[in-house]
Homo-oligomer: A and B are copies of this chain.
Amino acid sequence: MVTATQSPRHPAGLAQKLADSGLRSTPQRELVYEVLLTKRDHPTADEVFARVKPELPGISLATVYNCLETLVQCDLVRAVNFERGPTRYCPNLRPHAHFHDELTGQTHDVDLPETLFAKLKSELPPGFDANAVEITFRGKAKSSAN
């Protein structure tokens, strides 16, 4: 029989990406990443902490902060900030925008054509060279996408 790792649900990419940066794969990092992948509602560090704790009761909030920062450094997760308030975390790596629903407070990922991002960058005045664009919409979502 194949020996299963403790958390086989996450993509194999994690251990590899960590190794690429000279970092180790640990139960805490795996679990934090898995939690992000499982419920993609852009949780805060506190929320991640709450979701992770039942599985790994000894984990500390500081470690959750550390793990999230590590994942961001490895380009496995994006940190998202709109409006004052705690940073939120998003494991969606494709270029996409965020739609912030003013009624529910929820944040939805919105895929936009790659060409639009390119067009935006091309609209910059001479001398400005952007390597990333962040787009946030605010409004009301009536869709079933909740």
Q: Complex: how many Å from CA A128 to CA B127?
A: 34
Is A135 on the interface with B (CB-CB < 8 A)?
Answer: yes
Is A116 on the interface with B (CB-CB < 8 A)?
Answer: yes
Contacts of A87 in B (CB 8 A): 84
Q: CB distance B125 to A116 under 8 Å?
A: no
Contacts of A110 in B (CB 8 A): 124-125, 128
Kindly specify which of A1-9, A33-41, A138-146 makes contact with the partner chain: A138-146
Is A54 on the interface with B (CB-CB < 8 A)?
Answer: no
Contacts of A138 in B (CB 8 A): 130-134
Is A55 on the interface with B (CB-CB < 8 A)?
Answer: no
Q: CB distance B135 to A139 under 8 Å?
A: no
Contact of A137 among B112, B132, B137, B144 (CB under 8 A): B132
Contacts of A113 in B (CB 8 A): 123
Q: CB distance A127 to B145 under 8 Å?
A: yes
- A sample of 16 inter-chain contacts (CB < 8 A) reads A79-B83, A81-B83, A110-B128, A116-B123, A125-B143, A127-B142, A127-B144, A128-B141, A129-B142, A131-B138, A131-B139, A131-B140, A133-B137, A134-B134, A134-B135, A134-B136
